[in-house]
Structure 1
């Protein structure tokens, strides 16, 4: 089949210019003419280690009707009508040269135990039974014998995670011996194995293949060639596998407790190759900063919330999980709330409740009567049974704050109590009337310098009229009982 291919090739170029024909013959290691005479060498160049065995593959053709009488190899290139020396008759070759071909088409020869002196051009010569029916393959085989050779690993310049990667063990000398190759990563030998996707990774042979390479396949690779004459290591090459960000997380620098006024540093941590250089910070769904480090100076309670970062490199991006900043602060906006409903009669009390904003919520409350150093009560609620100005103080582990004072005034009216709450806020005094007592007899009650009087209705023995008079905002409201008849002595 090969001879037919060569023949048809020769027929296609028989009309080509002479220089082009010579060039084509040199490339394919073919010597011949357009009359059917040819010799083909494969390969035309052979590099062999010292003391190894070389096989020079060869085929030849000749016109139909000719009979082959003699075949041999020679180192001497002569004209067709001259006779070169036969290597099988040379004492230096006779014991090492073995003709493996025939007298039809195959002209392969084996040369064993080659030495540096065997580096030479070799030609095949054949003769037929007709005058001038002889031919020599002038392109020949160029044999180079070396005592050493360079071994190198050919690798891709850029590798990204998921790529299929091939490493090739190449030498400066195309060795003819069937060598064994062993591959190493970080000085450890590699054998055939399967990866996480059940893809085969071959660790032996001239070509080393990694299908769907991972980042942990990064490292220094080299190959070793072994034959019967010794072994040779290549130089190392480095596989640096690129991959997008992963394992992205947020590190909060400092203790676990963040108190209002602290300076808080958030650091975006990610694993990527090349390292990520672009980072974005988000609070909820809103971007709030950039850079690997995000600093909040003098943090406030409204900085509380969920934060995350996004890490970006040229191969992709990834968000971190969220972290929650829970800002602690002492009590603030402390106030007293009045909890009371319905009428209050003698012996009843008014309930005051301490309200505050703090984190964590205040659990300790103290109640004080103004101008007294000792607490008069504890707990979030306090029952006032006597007149006075009262305030509360809320506590948590980060501090405390007191409320403004409220005034509680208890009046005695004919054996009954009227409780009046006076709240003071920002310089404005407000009197809240908790109970109005309907008297069945004529009585008078003095409340904060205002007079309450009872008069008789013309149609009733006695009745009480309530007239609530408005004053300016910085005065007490006035509670008055208006006498619509002339007062009588009790």
Structure 2
């Protein structure tokens, strides 16, 4: 064969194989597979079914999605009946679907659960339904006891991984839990149960030819409310029975609290009797309160062995599917029972408590349209007490407050949700939040605030809900009134501030209604009622302790005190010297500088134009004063707000302290004295000149020989000196530094 022919043949084979794969894939686009085809379960235990499935991703360009999944064992008119609505499985099923895998769990297996279980999924595609065929077969079995050499063995038809058993001897528990027991009394009976499933035990077996034992005809009974129930058991005994009775727990089905049996003949509805080695307990007109486990006991028989469990049920409307259409609700409903009675029942429907919709033994589902406020009930035909509670198409509820006056913090407040659907609706309370979500506050018809707080102020509304949907009420506003509560008290910019700065005292409180404010300084009430107290330019007189009081009609609260500290630049220093006069050379001089300042000032002493201080502190001591100590001494007062200076002039000779004003007064005083002396001299000279002129004139007529002697005497009386003592203490010294640079100058002369 040529290469070309071989190549064509290979291509042909590939095309044929690809077509076959494509056809195979097309055929398997819809399908599924169970993890097990057969499951064996022990009565009272749990079994799990699993199915994986697949389907096309798209159809005609649209993505295919799964809308519903269900498990079923039987069909009606080729329509599978979902196990979730079958009363036989009520509260015993768990469904879990993740991706393309679904599991079904059945708890508390019963013999009636045996059968073939199938899985179906429904998609959004046209004719997009698929049932995974073959199914899973479930077998349910009880424990049994098999005789073995020197004892008995607890046996199960199902494979169990490491089972642990509990044994009963003559109706009482045995402490050992082995697979094999060695019986001792010839008259004893034995039963075994899987640990954790003691309610489901093997039938009792006698070790000898006769024994004491009790066998209940039914492990469980489902009865409709208002019906009569017969609970029966067979029993045997190896000797005469002295006493026998029926009893049930004192508190529901919690056997741990059972101390003594409850003798039922005290209730007229109960009747017990024996018939053909059978003990019977009959209960007339049963109610939900009769639901319990019942046990039979005689003198030689223990009370630990499980008995017959009675469950009393009434009809209940169950919603399979519901949708809103305008003001109406269209719902697919089922008449539901919590357990499954043995008899085949006929289901009846009634609208608004009157008109029969339909009674049927074949179909317990109905599609019904209800308008707002209408209700539907269902019942089992022939059992008038089994009528369900009404299921309402809901109306919007209303909220009522326990009182309409002002709501004050700490008081009791009750909100009531009033609905026109009294029995079948559930109530829920909401608090409106700032976000889109609302906070759930509680459940029930009433929302009670035993001591309402300011934080409870908000809008509230309630909702009523049932299986047909939910309706919301209009919201009500709760405005809680309360006395002021301080939230903030502060000083802006700070409680330590500088003189001349603007300062605001702010007193904030949380109150309803809003608070008024009163301000106090050092226990003295100030003007103003706002939460701000403003100083446009604070002064030293404003320093002190401040607080505020916030008040409304419900009470008041006083803030803590804040001390406002006003700081300022040191005032012009005051300089003093000791001693202040008659200081001789070699003496000590004490200079003291003081200044008013906040915070307190620090002091620095400078001499003349020196930049570094000669001393620090308020006191400056000069020991052994000499001529070189003469000069200007500057005292500088400093704090964080600034500094100020004053100057002291020190000179030799007599020591005095002068202020700049005193120095001026001395100069004026000595100038006045000088002027008076000059006037005196001029007056004397004029008087002398006049006298001399008269003498000359008189000498012309009367010559005076004593003229020269008189002149000499006058000169002796009026003498001028260049160093007159009256100017001795007047100085005209000038410092090298301009006096304008200082706040004060003191001229001290020694």
State TM-score, norm by structure 1: 0.51
Closer/same/farther in 2, CA of residues 268 and 91 from structure 1, 3 Å limit? closer
C-alpha displacement of 1:324:
1.5
Matches within 5 A, 1:82-97: 92=356
CA contact (8 A) 1:50 1:146 kept: no
In the alignment, is residue 308 of structure 1 matched against residue 550 of structure 2?
A: no
Matches within 5 A, 1:158-307: 158-171=406-419, 173=420, 175-186=421-432, 187-190=438-441, 203-254=442-493, 257-276=496-515, 278-290=516-528, 291-307=530-546
Distance 1:163 1:447 in 2: 97
1:427 equivalent in structure 2: 662
C-alpha displacement of 1:378:
3.3
C-alpha displacement of 1:251:
2.1
1:149 equivalent in structure 2: 395
In the alignment, is residue 392 of structure 1 matched against residue 635 of structure 2?
A: yes
Over residues 352-380 of structure 1, what are the superposed CA-to-partner deviations in whole Å (9 max), with x where a residue is unaligned? 021111111112423344xx576773312
Partner-residue secondary structure (3-state), 2:586: coil
Closer/same/farther in 2, CA of residues 394 and 151 from structure 1, 3 Å limit? same
Closer/same/farther in 2, CA of residues 170 and 426 from structure 1, 3 Å limit? farther
Partner-residue secondary structure (3-state), 1:422: coil
CA RMSD of aligned residues (A): 4.3
Closer/same/farther in 2, CA of residues 364 and 391 from structure 1, 3 Å limit? closer
C-alpha displacement of 1:250:
2.5
Higher RCO (CA 8 Å, separation ≥ 6 residues): 1
Structure 1 unaligned blocks of 5 or more: 1-48, 53-87, 97-112, 120-143, 191-202, 412-418, 432-445, 451-475, 480-490
Greater strand share, structure number: 1
Structure possessing the higher radius of gyration over alpha carbons: 2
Distance 1:245 1:338 in 2: 60
Over residues 324-366 of structure 1, what are the superposed CA-to-partner deviations in whole Å (9 max), with x where a residue is unaligned? 211110111411133569x977533211021111111112423
Aligned length: 293
Most deviating of 318-327 and 248-257: 248-257
Partner-residue secondary structure (3-state), 1:421: coil
C-alpha displacement of 1:164:
0.4
Structure 2 unaligned blocks of 5 or more: 1-328, 334-352, 361-367, 375-389, 433-437, 667-724, 730-746
Distance 1:402 1:251 in 2: 37
Closer/same/farther in 2, CA of residues 410 and 176 from structure 1, 3 Å limit? closer
Over residues 221-256 of structure 1, what are the superposed CA-to-partner deviations in whole Å (9 max), with x where a residue is unaligned? 221222344332222222122211112542222256
CA contact (8 A) 2:394 2:470 kept: no
Distance 1:239 1:307 in 2: 36
C-alpha displacement of 1:167:
0.1
Distance 1:327 1:243 in 2: 37
Distance 1:282 1:390 in 2: 47
Closer/same/farther in 2, CA of residues 229 and 327 from structure 1, 3 Å limit? same
Distance 1:91 1:244 in 2: 60
Partner-residue secondary structure (3-state), 2:655: strand
CA contact (8 A) 1:248 1:321 kept: no
CA contact (8 A) 2:603 2:635 kept: no
Matches within 5 A, 1:311-350: 311-339=550-578, 347-350=586-589
Closer/same/farther in 2, CA of residues 117 and 168 from structure 1, 3 Å limit? closer
Distance 2:599 2:371 in 1: 90
Distance 2:579 2:372 in 1: 120
Closer/same/farther in 2, CA of residues 118 and 208 from structure 1, 3 Å limit? closer
Partner-residue secondary structure (3-state), 1:216: helix
CA contact (8 A) 2:398 2:473 kept: yes
Closer/same/farther in 2, CA of residues 117 and 185 from structure 1, 3 Å limit? closer
Over residues 162-184 of structure 1, what are the superposed CA-to-partner deviations in whole Å (9 max), with x where a residue is unaligned? 0101001013x3x3424321212
Distance 1:309 1:118 in 2: 59
C-alpha displacement of 1:266:
1.5
CA contact (8 A) 1:327 1:359 kept: yes
Closer/same/farther in 2, CA of residues 429 and 350 from structure 1, 3 Å limit? farther
Closer/same/farther in 2, CA of residues 248 and 306 from structure 1, 3 Å limit? farther
Matches within 5 A, 1:410-421: 410-411=652-653, 420-421=655-656
State TM-score, norm by structure 2: 0.34
CA contact (8 A) 1:116 1:146 kept: no
CA contact (8 A) 1:330 1:396 kept: yes
Partner-residue secondary structure (3-state), 1:330: coil
2:111 equivalent in structure 1: none
CA contact (8 A) 1:248 1:320 kept: no
